[in-house]
Amino acid sequence: MKGLMQEHPLNIPMLARHAERLHGSRTVATKTDAGMDLTTYGEVVARARRLITALRKLGVKADDRVATFCWNHSRHLETWIAVPGMGAIVHTLNIRLFPDDVAYIVRHAADSVVIVDLSLWSAWEKVAAKLDGAIAKTIVINDTGAALPPGTLDYDELIAAEPESEFADVPEGNAAGMCYTSGTTGHPKGVVYSHRSNVLHAMMSANVDSIALSERDTALAIVPMFHANCWGIPHTALMQGCELVFPSRFMTPDALTQMMVDRQVTLGFGVPTIWLGTFEPMKAAKAQLTHLDRLVCGGSAVPPALQKAYHREFGVRVIHAWGMTETNPLASLCRPLARHAELSEDDLDNVLTSQGRVLPGVELRLADDEGNELPWDGQAVGEIQVRGNWIAADYYNDPSGAEKFIDGWLRTGDVATVDADGYIRITDRTKDLVKSGGEWISSVELEGLIMSHPDVAEAAVIAVAHPRWDERPLACVVPRPGTTLTKDAVIEHLRGKVANWWLPDDVVFIEEVPKTSVGKFDKKVLRDRFKDYRLPESGTASTPETVREPAAT
């Protein structure tokens, strides 16, 4: 029997109207050179309605792609409402990719209009030079006060005198947004998000056992709006009416800390490198951060030392989230169960550095190399595969999706165990595992343990060739400034915490671990740098030695 319920589309216009009516007076703050630019959800939605009118006059139609090349700020939020609100598709471009990659993405997505921050104009010019006029109109957000480039349209002037348009009646299955992967192998790949998937993801994020974003929060959205759909934060914020803080281009640890102080932030969103960088400035401002309640961390594994440090210093637990561009992005999130109240602090820290439990709306399984499903016993190791209401079904116009999406399941490439309570512990990416003598070594686990050493700032572990064991681990370590760290100190710190055969055969000290465009450790750069590295004949060193550069052959 059919359910006797009204059918109403779950779409971005629904979220915008809800924010406009119920949260119209709530603040949206953006960092500027002069301080903080303050607006409200009501004003943001009204400006989005005027932007719809302006874009239609420029010829933008339903299903057209409108690209953004912007930092996180309130005008970027307006485009997130206006473009899907008129039935078009907002396409956030990664401002940190190489120009060739961005140009490929623009052409592949067939973007017709681009909205660019003036502070990013020099970067955009390099992209535009490779597009052969593919973009019909360029709209510039003047975030610096300088003169606009010739032939461009001023964002604020464009919408200033326009009347407000009604939102389109967009079917929930239609595309609302696009993000491209960062292209670690081959070309970047497009992921298209539907209106329905965005709304359902927002509802999940507000769940009390999820992120629990609420009207009472002040949320600092550090994760870029071009990175994995900004973790869904803008959509959940529209729904819940939290105060929203955008850092724009002011991304230094000191600037982020001051924003948290000035706006009395309760909840922050960022990758591990962000929270590693802000720890010392936040520690110095501890007395002014009494409102801070929780931090959400994703993009890569949370180092156990980071979890412990924030809890020890601020009484704040880092909420570990896992997902990817293809999962819109959250698929699991780490929150304790009621029975975990009986655990010691160390045991609870250990639980909270896992990737947590799969979220409602997503199904997860572990599979071996032959595709057989593995048990959730905390021992079996297999690839995570997921499906669900906000999980991508394919890549946009890219045949390589046939290898990634199998029988309705997304093959994530992450290797993990899942225990009987459903807690996921990722041991590595398939490409980052070290295969030594036919057995696997987790680079992620070694990195977390190395970074728990008080003299270590960052660490990445990669596989290097070995004549007998096929591969062995090499630890690439960044010492903290002012410390004297030795190879033996790193190895001895690991000894007894992992099996002896897991111990790295060598340690090299580097100035910085390379990062991807979204702040993750970029191990492919390290693998290339050390591809000819010769390990010591005797394996792990037994005498102190400090190496600043690889002794490559």
Q: Which of 348, 343, 387 is nearest to 365 (CA)?
A: 387
Helices H / strands E in the chain, number of each? 16, 26
What is the structure's pLDDT at 441?
83
CB 301 within 8 A of CB 273: no
What is the structure's pLDDT at 538?
53
- Assign 3 to helix, strand or coil: coil
The answer to whether residue 458 sits within a structural domain is yes
Instruction: Select which of 30, 79, 92, 181 is catalytic.
Output: 181
State the DSSP H helix or E strand holding residue 43, giving kind and residue range, or none if neither.
Answer: helix 41-57
pLDDT exceeds cutoff 70 at 541: no
Confidence band, pLDDT 50/70/90 cuts, at residue 301: confident
Confidence band, pLDDT 50/70/90 cuts, at residue 98: confident
Structural domain of 515:
431-529
Opening angle at CA 398, ends 395 and 401, nearest 5:
55
The answer to whether residue 146 sits within a structural domain is no
**How many CA within 13 A on the CB side of residue 200?**
21
The answer to whether residue 460 sits within a structural domain is yes
Q: What's this model's pTM, rounded to 2 decimal places?
A: 0.83
pLDDT exceeds cutoff 60 at 120: yes
DSSP state of 534: P
pLDDT exceeds cutoff 50 at 234: yes
Highest mean pLDDT among 179-188, 286-295, 405-414: 286-295
Rounded to whole angstroms, the Cα distance separating 484 from 229 reads 41
Give the pLDDT confidence of 250-283 residue by residue, as tens digits. Answer: 999 999 999 999 999 999 999 888 998 999 999 9
Known active-site residue 283: no
Rounded to whole angstroms, the Cα distance separating 126 from 248 reads 21
- Assign 277 to helix, strand or coil: helix
Name residues whose C-beta falls within 8 Å of residue 430's C-beta, 6 or more positions apart in sequence.
383, 413, 414, 415
Q: Which residue has the higher pLDDT, 444 or 420?
A: 420
CA–chain centroid gap for 101, Å, is 19
The answer to whether residue 365 sits within a structural domain is no
The answer to whether residue 459 sits within a structural domain is yes
Confidence band, pLDDT 50/70/90 cuts, at residue 439: low
The answer to whether residue 409 sits within a structural domain is no
Known active-site residue 326: yes
Name residues whose C-beta falls within 8 Å of residue 398's C-beta, 6 or more positions apart in sequence.
187, 189, 190
What's the structural domain count of the chain?
1
Burial class of residue 314 (count of CB atoms within 10 Å of its CB; 0-12, 13-18, 19+): middle
DSSP secondary structure string for all residues of 178-227: EEE---SSSS--EEEEEHHHHHHHHHHHTSTTTT---TT-EEEE-S-TTS
Opening angle at CA 102, ends 98 and 105, nearest 5:
145
pLDDT exceeds cutoff 70 at 349: yes
Backbone angles phi, psi at 229, to 5 degrees: 60, 30
The answer to whether residue 486 sits within a structural domain is yes
Least confident of 142-151, 178-187, 464-473: 178-187
Known active-site residue 440: yes
pLDDT exceeds cutoff 90 at 445: no
Q: How far is CA 295 from each of CA 311, 403, 435, rounded to the nearest angstrom? A: 11, 35, 34
pLDDT exceeds cutoff 90 at 186: no
What is the structure's pLDDT at 400?
87
Q: Which of 452, 455, 434, 447 is nearest to 546 (CA)?
A: 455
CB 363 within 8 A of CB 262: no
What is the structure's pLDDT at 433?
72
pLDDT exceeds cutoff 60 at 546: no
DSSP state of 134: -
pLDDT exceeds cutoff 50 at 169: yes
Give the pLDDT confidence of 461-482 residue by residue, as tens digits. Answer: 999 988 777 789 999 999 999 9
Mean pLDDT on 367-388: 94
Q: What interhelical angle do 41-57 and 12-22 show, nearest 10?
A: 140
pLDDT exceeds cutoff 50 at 302: yes
Instruction: Select which of 215, 440, 469, 524 is catalytic.
Output: 440
Q: How far is CA 307 from each of CA 233, 288, 317, 463, rounded to the nearest angstrom? A: 22, 21, 7, 26
What is the structure's pLDDT at 545?
31
pLDDT exceeds cutoff 60 at 303: yes
What is the structure's pLDDT at 64?
98
Mean pLDDT computed over every residue of the chain? 91
Amino acid present at 27: T
Q: Which of 212, 320, 317, 221 is nearest to 269 (CA)?
A: 221
What is the structure's pLDDT at 184?
52
Q: How far is CA 427 from each of CA 97, 346, 374, 383, 501, rounded to the nearest angstrom? A: 28, 20, 15, 10, 16
Rounded to whole angstroms, the Cα distance separating 239 from 17 reads 9
Mean pLDDT on 214-225: 97
The radius of gyration computed from the CA coordinates of the chain, to the nearest angstrom, equals 24
Mean pLDDT on 236-253: 98
Instruction: Select which of 126, 435, 497, 531 is catalytic.
Output: 435
Rounded to whole angstroms, the Cα distance separating 289 from 295 reads 13
CATH of the domain at 510: 3.30.300.30
Instruction: Select which of 20, 172, 326, 458 is catalytic.
Output: 326
Known active-site residue 435: yes
The answer to whether residue 495 sits within a structural domain is yes
> In the numeric block, which tokens belong to residue 409?
């399941």
CB 149 within 8 A of CB 124: no
Q: Order of strands across the sheet with 89-92? A: 153-154, 137-141, 111-117, 65-69, 89-92, 175-180, 190-194
pLDDT exceeds cutoff 90 at 211: yes
Give the pLDDT confidence of 22-56 residue by residue, as tens digits. Answer: 999 999 999 999 999 999 999 999 999 999 999 99
Rounded to whole angstroms, the Cα distance separating 371 from 349 reads 33
CB 105 within 8 A of CB 78: no
What is the structure's pLDDT at 481?
92
